[in-house]
Amino acid sequence: MRWALEPEQEMFRDSLSGWIEKVATPPRVRGWLDSGDPTEFETALAEEGWLAVGTAEDSGGAGGGLLELAIAAETFARDAAPSSAWFASVLALPALDAKTAVTVIEEGRFAALVVSADGPPDTSARFTVTGNRVTGTASAVLGADRAALLVIPTDAGLYLVDSSSATITPTALLDRSRTTATVTLEAAEATRLEADAATFLAEAALRAAVLTAADSLGASTRMLQLSVEYSKQRSQYGQLIGSFQAMKHAAATVLVAEEASRSIVYYAAASVDERLPDAALHAAAAKAQATRAGSDTADSTLTMHGAIGYTWEHDLQLLYKRAKLNVALFGAPAVWNERIAQALELSAA
């Protein structure tokens, strides 16, 4: 099956791609990653209205849904843009009331869902709450160091905490285009949110799965593009390496995996949006398939570059590290494959 976007979605993709090419040029991206301060990009993201995509209009958003967010994740990944604040916010936004959501979208007061990115959001440990005071610790929280607001899951529901009330310790990652941090709360004052915690976390898990898969798809697309370009420039034995059969076969294998990933990622996004009966299976398949394919693509394209791609000066190393992180981010493929296995009915032999 080959998934085709609607004309409006293609226009959105092209508009965002054009904006990224203008704002997140390779020298700027490297500057943000070297300094560890992507504030310039995050400010532009909010000011230009891209943070509003995928959020309902009555919450200050521009409309659209998970499919549009998946297109955005794919686009950010192609240029290794620092997207932790964006990713964290789009996971947290559905839990917020309309007024608070507007401050996130229009003022760029990014939010983060305080769950460990080591596994699916609905499996993360919960914080404890006494009255309106929240206590607990979560490690590897995506984008927590970029957030002004924290959505805290507890056994008693969801709570909103200002990040100034938390101790946030950034975690060093090999992939510098994303950030995680350990969040510790000691009787921090919190506001109860209306969203049901269990339902919200289950939906957040599916959204995280699809968006991480889309990120791997975008990285794969760019890694293949870089490899094809390199194969047309590098010569061995008096011939361009792109003429060698081994290079052609490797590129074809990567392309097939990319197209397969694109179909399942887009379909899973639409399935989750439409709340189809098998949406959880579709999201799990997208996470397991696309992130594993992205990791394999990283290895293949690195080989196609003769390892020059891992040097600091080459852009492939940025995408390679991004694809490798996506495998583990919000649960390894084995975790999501296990969810598929548990959901499928057994048939008699």
Residue 60 lies in a domain: no
| Total-model pTM | 0.94
302 within some domain: yes
Q: Which helix (H) or strand (E) holds 212?
A: helix 197-231
Instruction: Assess whether pLDDT exceeds 80 at residue 171.
Output: yes
Residue 304 belongs to some domain of the structure = yes
Q: Is residue 3 very low, low, confident or very high in pLDDT (cuts 50, 70, 90)?
A: low
- Which structural domain range is residue 237 located in? 198-343
Query: Does some domain include residue 305?
Result: yes
Counting residues of the chain whose pLDDT is more than 70, the rounded percentage is 96
pLDDT (mean) for 259-274: 95
Given a cut of 70, whether residue 225 has pLDDT beyond it is: yes
CATH number at residue 315: 1.20.140.10
* Domain presence at residue 150: no
Q: How far apart are CA 105 and CA 116, in angstroms?
A: 24
In the chain, the number of structural domains is 1
Pairing of strands 157-162, 133-142: unpaired
Residue 272 lies in a domain: yes
| Cα maximum dimension of the chain | 75
Q: Is 311 helix (H, G, I), strand (E, B) or coil?
A: coil
In a domain, 24, yes or no: no
The answer to the question of residue 186 being in a domain is no
Write the burial class of residue 323 (CB in 10 Å: 0-12 exposed, 13-18 middle, 19+ buried): buried
Task: Find the mean pLDDT for residues 224-252.
Answer: 76
- Separation of alpha carbons 147 and 252, rounded Å: 41
pLDDT > 80? residue 243: no
